[in-house]
Chains A and B, each alone.
Chain A
Amino acid sequence: MNLQLFVNGLVNASLIAPPAIAFTLLFGVLRFPNFAIGGYITVGAFMAYTANVIFAWPLVAATLFAMAVTALVVWLSDVVVFAPLRNQEPVTLLVVSIAFSLILENLVRLFFASDVRGFDIPLERPIKVMGARITPEQLDILMLAFAITVAVHVVLRFTRFGKAMRAVADNPVLAQVRGLSLRWITAGTCALAGAIFGLTGVFAGLDLVIEPLIGWNLTIPIFAAAILGGIGSPMGALVGAICVGMAEELTILVLPSTYKIAVGFLIIAVFLLLRPQGLFGQPEIKK
């Protein structure tokens, strides 16, 4: 197999995996597919750009700033936009979240226009490993994405907050009866997911270019990864991200690269028809 394609696929997967996990965490607590991820990621990328290029902060500080702002945006969007609409059907909320994503993207467009931008970092020569090229930034993305995934897993498994989150995702009424504060857990989940979206914005800005559609272009692969792994299952989202990330790159072997997105969709469609609950999801129990 072509090693370069494998490396590209791995980098692609590490762009998708953390937000797919964040998406699935949000879904567990909010109970609707929040498609505003594209808008959140765009906000993250542009906040980091503002801090890094306009305020001339170092990239690490800019990244932390972007994560904090995005966490705040995700929490505020839930309180102001989504929470009052909790009684609507999930599909209506899905459309509302897409609309909200459009609002965020276009607010960014209003202030920054659609020009293509990049972070203020020194250009470095790609590292060559057995003929495959990988840039130092891509290597950072790869390692950080892995670290984030492990960290989220540890939080979910071993901390009180993680247990509370799983309890709410499992059965919100029962969790409340046991004295868990739905409001605080929702806020915490939003903040955690938001920080991950902000970080993804920085990753995407490092690997691609910064423009208002940066988030929207990632939305479909992220959603696909979450579905493939089974919505609500963080480990599934990771595996899903690797499958989608690899599939997108490897299809270049058999089809023109312009068909990349289509092949991703086709795999998902076939998969959904054969195993609708995803790789690791529980089959839905109907009343």
Chain B
Amino acid sequence: MLAYIVSLATFVGFFMLLAIALNLQWGMTGMVNFGIAGFYALGAYTSGILSSKLGLPVGLAMMVAVLAGLAAGAALALLSGRLRDDYLAIVTLGFGEIVRLIILNEDQITEGPRGLRIAEQPLAGWVSVENYPLLYLGLVVLAVAVAFALSETIRRAPMGRVLRAIREDELVASVLGKAVLRHKIRIFAIGGGIMGLAGALYAHYVQNISPDVFLPMVAIFIWMSVIVGGAGNNWGLLLGAGIVMVLLEGSRFIGDIAPWIDAEKLSAGRIILIGVLLIVTLHLRPQGLIPEPRYRNKFQRKS
């Protein structure tokens, strides 16, 4: 039971990292990204291949995974930073699918559909095998905390104001002399890096990764997390990611309690439930559960 909760919490952590990254890109800056699964896979496979096949130390491999996410984010934003929302949606979706197809097809490097086994784990041997999941959870919590702090710092900094200006009206932001494209590239790269980190942490946790985990569905769940929680609000998305992941993974419990429901129906019901949750939330609370705070300058009186 405890082991189950620890594992669930770890998975919630991966989702929170991805949601924080998407909130930076979309919630704060208004840049659409449907290729989350691609960044996630890139991080997972970079770290996995470097540590298991090339024997790099795990810490270093994970760092390279973050850099890979950063680089991919920057490149994608540089190419498509000027595109309209719906077009950016399809370009990023395409990026995600291309990453998945490359992993699927280049099986000399990635082991393709067989799945890549990764024996290496960070900080292995520090604690006993029974306690290792707890240590790993601690590591994931630390990563979430760092990403959260980074995102909040950006939000409160002058840069956060520029990003919101870009989100609300790009033209006005550029008329005011802000380097719109440079900010977009920077924020897309940071988001990509965080997603890469999430992927690396995921890879060394499950220790067996295959391309069918990184379907576009991942992006949809993260989008739902951010929208349900409240776009633009870091606290909201933590709540949203928690709710979506607990519904996704936690409902596996029902299978243990009620074995007469078959797994196929259960997994279908689970996805229906999450979809309905998104739609109902938006109908009742259009800004999400915890909306973005309204920004005032110091001359406006509190109302």
Binding site for B on A (CB under 8 A): 33, 81, 84-85, 87-88, 90-92, 94-96, 98-100, 102-103, 106-107, 109-110, 113-114, 220, 223-224, 227, 231, 256, 258-259, 261-262, 265-266, 268-269, 272-273, 276, 284, 286
B102 contact set on A, CB distance < 8 A: 262
Contact A91–B32 (Cβ < 8 Å): yes
- Contact of A266 with B283 at beta-carbon distance under 8 Å, contacts A99-B278, A102-B275, A106-B272 already known: no
Q: Write the nearest CB–CB distance from B6 to chain A, whole angstroms.
A: 29
B255 contact set on A, CB distance < 8 A: none
A269 contact set on B, CB distance < 8 A: 79-80, 90-91, 94
16 A-B pairs with CB atoms under 8 Å apart are A81-B279, A90-B85, A90-B86, A91-B85, A98-B220, A99-B279, A102-B220, A102-B275, A106-B268, A109-B264, A114-B264, A231-B86, A258-B105, A259-B105, A268-B91, A269-B90
B135 contact set on A, CB distance < 8 A: none
Point out which of B104, B105, B224, B268 has the most chain A C-beta atoms below 10 A from its C-beta.
B268
In the complex, the 5 A-B pairs of residues with the closest C-beta atoms, listed nearest first = A265-B94, A106-B268, A103-B275, A99-B275, A109-B268
Contact B279–A265 (Cβ < 8 Å): no
Assign chain B's interface to a size class.
35 or more
A136 to B138 Cα, complex, angstroms: 62
A81 to B275 Cα, complex, angstroms: 11
Contact B220–A95 (Cβ < 8 Å): yes
Q: Write the nearest CB–CB distance from A35 to chain B, whole angstroms.
A: 9
- Contact of A265 with B97 at beta-carbon distance under 8 Å, contacts A95-B223, A99-B220, A103-B276 already known: yes
Closest to B26 in A: A91
Q: Write the nearest CB–CB distance from A270 to chain B, whole angstroms.
A: 10
**Quick check: is B171 within 8 A (CB to CB) of the other chain?**
yes
A284 contact set on B, CB distance < 8 A: 84
B283 contact set on A, CB distance < 8 A: 84-85
Contact B85–A227 (Cβ < 8 Å): no
Q: Looking at the complex, which one of B83, B90, B265, B278 makes contact with A95 (CB distance below 8 Å)?
A: B278
Contact A265–B272 (Cβ < 8 Å): no
Contact B86–A258 (Cβ < 8 Å): no
Q: Write the nearest CB–CB distance from B73 to chain A, whole angstroms.
A: 16
A12 to B6 Cα, complex, angstroms: 48
Q: How many A-B pairs with Cβ below 8 Å?
A: 115
Closest to B98 in A: A262
Q: Write the nearest CB–CB distance from A139 to chain B, whole angstroms.
A: 32
Chain B interface mostly: helix
Chain B 64-96 interface mask (CB, 8 Å, partner A; 1/0): 000000000000000110111111011101100
A84 contact set on B, CB distance < 8 A: 283
B32 contact set on A, CB distance < 8 A: 91
A266 to B87 Cα, complex, angstroms: 13
Binding site for A on B (CB under 8 A): 26, 32, 79-80, 82-87, 89-91, 93-94, 97-98, 101-102, 104-105, 171, 220, 223-224, 227, 231, 264-265, 268-269, 271-272, 274-276, 278-279, 282-283, 286
Contact B84–A266 (Cβ < 8 Å): no
Point out which of A84, A88, A256, A265 has the most chain B C-beta atoms below 10 A from its C-beta.
A265
A273 contact set on B, CB distance < 8 A: 79-80, 83
A114 contact set on B, CB distance < 8 A: 264
A224 to B93 Cα, complex, angstroms: 11
A110 to B278 Cα, complex, angstroms: 20
Contact B86–A92 (Cβ < 8 Å): no
Q: Write the nearest CB–CB distance from A192 to chain B, whole angstroms.
A: 22
Q: Write the nearest CB–CB distance from A237 to chain B, whole angstroms.
A: 14
Q: Write the nearest CB–CB distance from A2 to chain B, whole angstroms.
A: 23
B282 contact set on A, CB distance < 8 A: 85, 88, 92, 96
A266 to B104 Cα, complex, angstroms: 17
Point out which of B87, B91, B227, B231 has the most chain A C-beta atoms below 10 A from its C-beta.
B87
A261 to B93 Cα, complex, angstroms: 11
Contact B90–A268 (Cβ < 8 Å): yes
Closest to B87 in A: A272
B89 contact set on A, CB distance < 8 A: 33, 91, 94
Q: Looking at the complex, which one of A92, A96, A102, A286 makes contact with B271 (CB distance below 8 Å)?
A: A102
Contact A92–B79 (Cβ < 8 Å): no
Contact A95–B279 (Cβ < 8 Å): no
Contact A94–B279 (Cβ < 8 Å): no
Q: Write the nearest CB–CB distance from A265 to chain B, whole angstroms.
A: 3
- Contact of A259 with B101 at beta-carbon distance under 8 Å, contacts A92-B282, A95-B220, A273-B80 already known: yes
